[in-house]
Chains A and B, each alone.
Chain A
Amino acid sequence: MAAPFAWIRAEPHGIHVVPADCWIDPSLPVPNALVTHGHSDHARGGHGRTVATPETLAIMELRYQTREGAMPVQYGETIRLPGGVDATFVPAGHVLGSAQIVLDHAGERVVVTGDYKRRPDPTCPPFEAVPCDVFVTEATFGLPVFRHPPIEREIGKLRDALRREPDRCVLVGAYALGKAQRLIAELRRAGHHDAIFLHGALERMCRLYEAFGVDLGELRLVADARREELRGATVICPPSALNDRWSRRLPDPITAMASGWMRVRQRARQRNVELPLIISDHADWDELTATIEEVDPAESWITHGREEALLRWCQLHKRRARALALVGYEDEDD
């Protein structure tokens, strides 16, 4: 009998499902790819065949302008891969279409989370914990200093700023896929029904969310608005545009940024942010550790972030763990 889990290997540019010759979130073009979600460091173009949720495939089509080789699979649906490997896509709660990939082979089960979070998100179904033998977990916020506050508190901070400064606008830097739409949806949930203004780079992704049934309320483009209309309004742009010349057209903006990194004051100051909003689409430290306890794997493989601290936690809690050295993943502007 083969050694345990010998059928799945962590290689520098992705996780290799050997019997199926299939790669999960590969950072190089491969013949067969399984993609957890649409963020660009997970969903690269150029693969022969791409298996992903319909939402993720639509996001990839928006980015790469092609549907070639797309193979949609619904949440909860199991597909049989070559070599006797079953793959099931289970919600990860990270962004629209994000999935964990559950792999069953020879009586062993491996779960690859991709990116995930445990907080409710009006734009995607919640994470489902799947007990398994090997749990391949992300660790973007894998330091015990990261405990995300309730999102209601952060939305409250934004709305307070709008109320306090009716002649200015609040300009929020938010990641174009996921964060921007969740922010809008949470503002709506909190009773904010005014038009929200967008930087042009966010429009298509918002329309895609709407096409998948996520209600974002009235959205307008900054380019179509008069300066006066922007006073007292919320404006959302990609983080890269925050301090850009583009922002000069806005009426004295209060610079905000929606990101888990905003927990750390120095990070917020580096970005010239006046109003840091601690909003993250990743699990925080308490959620990362609680999830490992919940799925109770024989082994945890840690990737994609601050592996060292989570590895230490596993060691302190007598859990088998290893850090994977995958390349090509960035700290998302999250």
Chain B
Amino acid sequence: MERFAALLDALVYTRGRNAKLALIADYLRTTPDPDRGWALAALTDALDFPAVKSSTIRNLLTERVDPLLFALSRDFVGDTAETASLLWPQASDDAMPPPSLSEAVGLLQGMTRASVMSELPRLLDRLDADGRYALFKLATGGLRVGVSARLAKTAFAQGFGVPVEEVEEYWHALVPPYAELFAWGAHGAPPPDTGELPLFRPFMLAHPLEDAVLDLEDYVAEWKWDGIRVQIAHAGGETRLYSRTGDDVTGSFPEMAEALGFPAVLDGELLVRGTHQGGEVGGAASFNALQQRLGRKTVSTRMLADYPAFVRLYDVLILEGEDVRELPWTERRARLEALMPRLPAERFDLSPVVEADHFEHLAEIRAGARDEAIEGLMLKRKDSAYVAGRKTGLWYKWKRDPLLVDCVLMYAQRGSGKRSSFYSDYTFGCWDGDPDEGAELLPVGKAYFGFTDEELKQLDRYVRSHTVNRFGPVRETDRGVVFEVAFDSVHASRRHKSGLAMRFPRISRIRWDKPAHEADRIETLRALVRD
């Protein structure tokens, strides 16, 4: 438990992704089984101890600490679990030695609503303040140490020198503490069997096209739809929907869970019905509409009716127990087209191939596609197998050119990690009218990348010498610098004062030359909304 507590604390204080990876990889390499497996489960939020609720912690404390002292402490610390870990009366020296992580997990699993109030204190008495904090976080879930499941899997891969795609694939076949996964990764045992389960298979991903010109003899083009990439898997009578990161999102889209009735693993874009993408009736609504459905634990009938989901299929990975990932794209495509009649049309359609005579023709189609295929084009090598991850030369994404708008820097905030001494996070705005007639700037977005290190230094110097106000880590600057901001799309949003929200804004150029009053107005941005 001490090692796990130390890992959690180190992760709390470490900001950089690589540093976090190194910490976890080192922990996984040097910690014995099954502790490391339980730690991995805790980091990926795969554990659940229903007997322990955050109210349990509060109740335990109010039995032991004066309520006013608890309230004052909680206000100061800001986190109930941390407050409780610090307030817990230190046990006498003859308490039992601290438990290992697996012993703690075993004890937590054995607790019931009826026994938790007597058993949890005995466990807490064996730990110091850091250990108690780790135990509370473990027991109530949600470690909040900035580690995604993907990062944890990458750390496993890095720690044992195995491909992350394979970790991803075996992962879903296993339950904590993942004994077979460690046997494979750490000791070279044969990989776990991924047989008869609706498991996640790692996605094949694309590289940006950059400046390359491809021969359309070898490559086929498809639209890149602006939804969320999903995999839908059916096996053993069960259907699951996975996001790009391998998260199970079936719960948010129950209509999709009922839509696939035979064993298969399919790759496609999850969209919501509407008339925007593709233009024709029965097409897809904008990404904004899809967002209404994301991240919901329960879905109302109203939601299902207003924003019905469907999947626009790109590919097939497994069909009736046969793994077709080794086949070339053309053959997989043929199988995909052949199976379409077996799928309900209101839940599935096929992403069409975009026909073009030659590459320049394709470029024209792409340039004209602003309203249609929101994100751009995909180019897939016709003879390529379905390979996990990003392999050079097989798939390319050719995003349509970004939208551009000129904005004025309004606020700057210190970055984190290596950038903590720089003002590197910028909030910028557009004019709400004619600046020469007293118009104001309204914030329209925030960006912290797109510039070079040298430009960052210049901007940092600029911010420091043009500060007009300070609010904690934030400085308000005079309205003197114009950014050319690139973004993928803009949508109506009630969360922002300007009523607009950009997707993927980044600084494309710093316009030192441009006077602030020549920056764009809100109307210009509003005209680009395609909701």
Contact = CB atoms under 8 A, between A and B. Distances in A.
A268 B12 CA distance: 10
A65 interface: no
B13 A145 contact: no
A313 B66 CA distance: 9
A145 B421 contact: no
Given A145-B76, A264-B76, A274-B13, A313 B82 contact: no
A276 B65 CA distance: 27
Contacts of A312: 66, 68-69, 72
B86 interface: yes
Interface in B27-83: 65-66, 68-69, 72-73, 76-79, 82-83
Nearest to A263: B86
B416 interface: yes
Contacts of B65: 144
A265 B12 contact: yes
The B contact surface, by secondary structure, is helix
Interface residues of A, number: 28
A266 B79 contact: yes
Contact of B76 (A248, A272, A274, A306): A306
Interface in B71-125: 72-73, 76-79, 82-83, 86-87, 90
A86 B83 CA distance: 44
A273 B14 CA distance: 9
Contacts of A247: 421
A311 to B, nearest CB: 10
Interface in A264-299: 264-266, 268-269, 272-276
B414 interface: yes
Contacts of B90: 147
Contact of B13 (A248, A264, A275): A275
Nearest to B82: A265
Given A243-B420, A248-B421, A272-B416, A266 B73 contact: no
Contacts of B87: 144-145
Interface string A229-273: 000000000000001110110000001000000011110110011
Interface residues of B, number: 25
B82 A306 contact: no
Given A273-B13, A312-B69, A244 B421 contact: yes
B79 A145 contact: no
A143 B72 contact: yes
A316 B13 contact: no
A154 interface: no
Contacts of A10: none
A243 B420 CA distance: 6
Contacts of B76: 143, 145, 264, 306
A321 B12 CA distance: 39
Contact of A274 (B14, B73, B79, B82): B14
A155 to B, nearest CB: 17
Contacts of A264: 76-78, 82
A309 interface: yes
A309 B79 contact: no
Interface of A: 143-147, 243-245, 247-248, 255, 263-266, 268-269, 272-276, 306, 308-309, 312-313, 316
28 contacts: A143-B69, A143-B73, A144-B69, A144-B87, A145-B73, A145-B86, A145-B87, A147-B90, A243-B414, A245-B421, A247-B421, A264-B76, A264-B78, A264-B82, A265-B9, A266-B78, A266-B79, A269-B13, A272-B15, A274-B14, A274-B15, A275-B13, A306-B72, A306-B76, A309-B68, A309-B72, A312-B66, A312-B72
Closest 7 A-B residue pairs measured CB to CB? Answer: A145-B86, A272-B420, A145-B73, A274-B13, A309-B72, A243-B420, A266-B78
Given A144-B87, A269-B13, A273-B13, 19 more contacts: A143-B69, A144-B65, A144-B69, A145-B77, A145-B87, A243-B421, A245-B421, A247-B421, A248-B421, A255-B420, A264-B82, A268-B13, A274-B13, A306-B72, A306-B76, A309-B69, A309-B73, A313-B69, A316-B66
